[in-house]
Amino acid sequence: MSDALAIENFELKGRSSLPQSISLELLGPTRQEWQDHVNYAGMAQVFVEFHLMLNGSLTAIKQKLELILDGASGQNNNASGPALADLATDIRSFYVAIHRHHEVEDHIYFPQFKRLFPQLLSGFTLLDKDHLILTPAIEELLWYSRSMSAGEGLAYSFLGLLYDHISVMRKILARHLIDEEEIIIPLFLSSK
Ligand SMILES: [Fe+2]
Ligand SMILES: [Fe+2]
């Protein structure tokens, strides 16, 4: 099977690990050794901590939405109030953070690493594809937040769709971030 076909079969939504054709090319050290590495305090740590923040922000957004959905009652089909505006603010902050992060990766780090480590081209092709899947998912999240900012009540059924979207996003974002770290953190550690 060619690398291109292997990548096709590891679409982000169904992926549980990096394909072997990529993992066999990874540079050491392994994840367990990163924090003790002499070069960890630098871009490696910055990336790992930023990824943690992204995962944490999306989890917090999901928890805030759960609280709003828990307020649904038989008499009222709509949610309203400051909790919705607060959620919209959090979603916009998350959007800005991940959008800027992808821009830095797409335009600076991934092109540099592709040049410096051509043996990892398949890995970066997979990460590029991940970003193409994540980008519309992030845009959709922003679209939901605009509806919240309008100041009107929102149907709980609409917020339920947002909840489903965030649940899928959490899964695919976490997968992308783990796999991205497996590919790029050893490169940061080796190139200080
Ligand atoms: Fe990424
Ligand atoms: Fe990243």
- Which residue range is the domain that position 55 belongs to? 31-190
pLDDT(149) > 90: no
Q: How far, in Å, from the CA of 145 to the mean position of ligand 2?
A: 23
Q: How far, in Å, from the CA of 67 to the mean position of ligand 1?
A: 29
Ligand lying closest to the C-alpha of residue 54: 2
Please provide the average confidence, as pLDDT, over all residues in the chain: 89
Look at the chain and count its residues. Answer: 192
Q: How far, in Å, from the CA of 69 to the mean position of ligand 1?
A: 30
Proportion of the chain above pLDDT 70, given as a percent: 92
* pLDDT on residue 42: 94
Are 7 and 130 in contact, with CB atoms under 8 Å apart? no
Of 90, 111, 92, 112, which is closest to residue 100 (Cα–Cα)?
A: 92
pLDDT(82) > 90: no
**What is the CATH classification number for the domain harbouring 134?**
1.20.120.520
Residue 119 lies in a domain: yes
Q: How far, in Å, from the CA of 51 to the mean position of ligand 2?
A: 6
Residue 166 lies in a domain: yes
Residue 79 lies in a domain: yes
Residue 113 lies in a domain: yes
For ion ligand 1, residues whose CB falls within 5 Å: 105, 180
Residue 11 lies in a domain: no
Q: How far, in Å, from the CA of 82 to the mean position of ligand 1?
A: 32
Name the most confidently modeled range: 47-61, 69-83, 140-154.
47-61
Angstrom distance (rounded) from CA 115 to CA 125: 13
Give 57-81 pLDDT, tens digit per residue: 999 999 999 999 988 776 677 777 7
Of 93, 132, 149, which is closest to residue 7 (Cα–Cα)?
A: 132
Strands in 19-144 per DSSP E:
78-79
Q: Which residue carries 């335009």 as its tokens?
A: 107
Q: How far, in Å, from the CA of 76 to the mean position of ligand 2?
A: 41
Residue 21 lies in a domain: no
Are 123 and 87 in contact, with CB atoms under 8 Å apart? no
pTM for the structure as a whole: 0.90
Are 19 and 9 in contact, with CB atoms under 8 Å apart? yes
Residue 19 lies in a domain: no
Q: How far, in Å, from the CA of 65 to the mean position of ligand 2?
A: 25
What's the one-letter identity of residue 5? L
Total of domains in the chain: 1
Residue 24 lies in a domain: no
